[in-house]
Amino acid sequence: MAKLSILLVEDNPLAQKVMQTELKGHAVDAAANPAAAAANMRKKRYDLVFLDLDLGAKDALAGLRLIAPAAAAGAYTVIMSGHDDEEIVSRAYELGCHDFYSKGSETESVAQVLTRFDRHRALPEEEQVFTNRFITQDTPTRTAISEALKFAASDLPILILGPSGTGKTMLARVLHERSGREGAFIAVNCAAYQEDLLEAELFGYRKGAFTGADGSRSGRLLEADGGTLFLDEIGSMSLAMQTKLLKAIEEKVFYPLGSDKPEGSSFRVISATLEDLPALVRAGKLRFDFFQRIHGLTVTLRPLRERPDDVLPLLAHFMRAGGRRVTFADDAKARLRAHAWPGNVRELKRLVELLAAGAEGMVTAATLGRYLGEARAKAPVAEEDPALTESQYRKAVAQGLSAAVDAMEDAAIARCLAENGGKKTKALKTLKISTRLLYESLARRGKEG
Amino acid sequence: MDEEALCKLVHDVNSKCASLTSAAALLKGASEAERAEFLKLMRDQARSLFETLENARR
């Protein structure tokens, strides 16, 4: 293997010495803290970065914060841990780390990590995404992602569609990493905030702008300057907020709450939703010009149940990522492939965590049943739930249940009217609703009443 | 000892033992000078592990 340029981020002197010995023959720089590591990465380009997640007792997440810059700089990023905290390892992979090395493991060696790096390096750039970030053999999904990757370095806004847990945030992050933008990747879940709070979150505020604004805070728009603003659940944004955001996107200027001084920010917008945005436009819930502005390219991620061939490779990937070894009997594999995965890849990750913690020996279909049930319970309510989708639930929390139910009624009625040439009698019959409900909805939308 | 302190203890012991295990495996192929350096670092690590356990016992 050719001499590699390696950054070793490790604060324990013995662990550092062990790794330096294992990596003999390569050019290894060592950093004992996040600041020194960041300084090294600014000065030099590394092939590999070995990163101890546990950099001192004061800040348990200091190591995590180095993953994104290392991966964005093109380094094969390996996290190291002597203990496996599934949640942190999972977060590390979401942030773009490529590999995991279990310190003190008798079955895993640094040489194996270097071999995996060599294989990774030999792959075409696009294939690297499918090896480490999006494990999929599904042709429509690969085509959609490949198409999006072609536009990663452009300013084109991208809209990612797909049910909960299919990797929309992951794709947005990959697109940002490959955009060449030096600014940060800023993710905002629009459905997680009430309207006024979302405005403060996005635009920031000055001291005294509203009750409780004891100090000034810069908003996410400013933080995304030179980078990417990822707006998840964009369909839940109010019309008023869409108007303000549209202006900020187009003019690259906005006013924080309580300020008459404009702030400038140039960012690329990537949005995601599981809702039918054209239907929201038809229902008057989404501004047409805002919709036009955010969907330069649309990427659709399919639910896991529609790509059963991905289940076992994904399972193997997450097992390896956490340094776990569990074997499955043939009947268990068949059951995994046939499972509906309502929580999609997120549910599968939960299953791996549960299996890693509790399964012993060969997992059979019989033992798998209990774990599948628990993983389902741990995964968030997904779009496929017939009674309540994730988006609906978040809206109910953000807007209050009554307002959310009204909004759903309005959307259903507007769509039915559109599909039936505006005939109210047809809508009444199709939706089995009262005349009063129909007119109340029309009044809310300002159509009549 | 509360749950949080116990988790931290388990974590610290695991981390320190992991380095000791790896270092012990490297002793065989090490040169004299390297072995001496390893042994010094291993002793420091073992002392640190001892202190961690003593603190937990108090």
What's phi and psi for A108, nearest 5 deg? -115, 135
AA letter at A153: A
| Tokens linked to A90 | 């999972």
For residues A67 and A94, give the distance between their C-alpha atoms in angstroms, rounded to a whole number. Answer: 10
Contact A215/A207 with Cβ under 8 angstroms?
Answer: yes
Give the pLDDT score at B58. 81
Q: Please name the residues between 67 and 86 in chain A that touch chain B, using a CB distance below 8 Å.
A: 82-83
DSSP A392-412: HHHHHHHH-HHHHHHHHHHHH
For residues A348 and A342, give the distance between their C-alpha atoms in angstroms, rounded to a whole number. Answer: 10
- The one-character DSSP state at A80 is E
Chain B CA closest to residue A80: B15
b/e string for A2-29 if b means 16 or more Cβ within 10 A? eebebbbbbbbbbbbbbbebbbeebebb
| Contact list, A22 vs chain B (CB under 8 Å) | 22, 26
User: To which H or E segment does residue A132 belong?
Assistant: helix A125-132
The answer to whether the Cβ–Cβ distance between A13 and B15 falls below 8 Å is no
Chain A CA closest to residue B22: A104
On whether any CB of chain A is under 8 Å from the CB of B14, the answer is yes
On whether any CB of chain A is under 8 Å from the CB of B51, the answer is no
Give the pLDDT score at A384. 45
The answer to whether the Cβ–Cβ distance between A83 and B10 falls below 8 Å is yes
CA geometry: angle A179, A183, A187, nearest 5 deg: 85
List the alpha helices (DSSP H) in A7-74.
13-22, 34-43, 62-72
Sequence-distant (6+) residues with CB within 8 A of A159 are A234, A270, A271, A272, A273, A277, A294, A295, A296, A297, A298, A299
On whether any CB of chain B is under 8 Å from the CB of A22, the answer is yes
Per-residue pLDDT of chain A (449 residues; tens, 9 = 90+): 678 999 999 989 999 999 999 999 999 999 998 889 989 998 888 999 999 877 665 566 777 888 888 887 788 999 887 665 667 777 787 787 888 888 777 667 888 899 888 888 877 777 778 877 888 989 999 999 998 998 988 899 999 999 988 989 989 999 998 888 888 999 999 988 888 889 999 999 998 888 777 888 899 999 999 999 999 999 999 999 999 999 999 999 999 999 999 999 999 999 999 888 988 899 898 999 999 999 889 999 999 999 999 999 898 888 877 666 678 888 888 989 888 888 899 888 888 888 877 766 678 888 888 778 777 666 554 444 446 665 676 667 767 788 888 888 888 888 888 777 888 888 888 888 888 888 888 888 775 54
Give the pLDDT score at A231. 96
Give the pLDDT score at A382. 44
ipTM: 0.92
On whether any CB of chain A is under 8 Å from the CB of B15, the answer is yes
Per-residue pLDDT of chain B (58 residues; tens, 9 = 90+): 787 788 888 888 888 898 899 899 999 989 999 999 999 999 999 999 999 999 988 8
Name the minimum distance, in Å, from the CA of A345 to any CA of chain B. 29
Give the pLDDT score at A324. 65
Name the minimum distance, in Å, from the CA of A17 to any CA of chain B. 8
| Contact list, A54 vs chain B (CB under 8 Å) | 11, 15
Chain B CA closest to residue A13: B41
Q: How far is CA A147 from the centre of its chain?
A: 18
Give the pLDDT score at A288. 94
Give the pLDDT score at A159. 95
Sequence-distant (6+) residues with CB within 8 A of A213 are A200, A205, A206, A207, A257, A258
Give the pLDDT score at B39. 97
Nearest CB among B15, B16, B23 relative to A18 is that of B23
Give the pLDDT score at A428. 87
For residues A220 and A362, give the distance between their C-alpha atoms in angstroms, rounded to a whole number. Answer: 48
**Tens of pLDDT, residues A306-352:** 999 999 989 888 887 766 667 888 888 898 988 888 889 988 888 88
Nearest CB among A17, A21, A54 relative to B15 is that of A54
For residues A9 and A11, give the distance between their C-alpha atoms in angstroms, rounded to a whole number. Answer: 7
Chain B CA closest to residue A52: B15
Query: How many CB atoms are closer than 10 A to CB A44?
Result: 12
Domain tally, chain B: 1
Secondary structure of A278-320 as H, E, C letters: HHHHHCCCCCHHHHHHHCCEEEECCCHHHCHHHHHHHHHHHHH
Residue of B9, B12, B22 for testing the chain A interface, max A β-carbons within 10 Å: B22
On whether any CB of chain B is under 8 Å from the CB of A60, the answer is no
Name the minimum distance, in Å, from the CA of A18 to any CA of chain B. 6
Stated pTM of the model: 0.62
DSSP A408-441: HHHHHHHHHHHHTTT-HHHHHHHHT--HHHHHHH
Q: What is the residue range of B32's domain?
A: 3-57
The answer to whether the Cβ–Cβ distance between A104 and B26 falls below 8 Å is no
Name the minimum distance, in Å, from the CA of A26 to any CA of chain B. 17
List the alpha helices (DSSP H) in chain B.
3-27, 32-57
Name the minimum distance, in Å, from the CA of B20 to any CA of chain A. 8
On whether any CB of chain A is under 8 Å from the CB of B19, the answer is yes
Nearest CB among B10, B19, B30 relative to A15 is that of B19
Query: How many CB atoms are closer than 10 A to CB A295?
Result: 19
A154: three-class secondary structure by DSSP? coil
Q: Calculate helix-pair angle for A435-444, A401-419, nearest 10 degrees.
A: 100
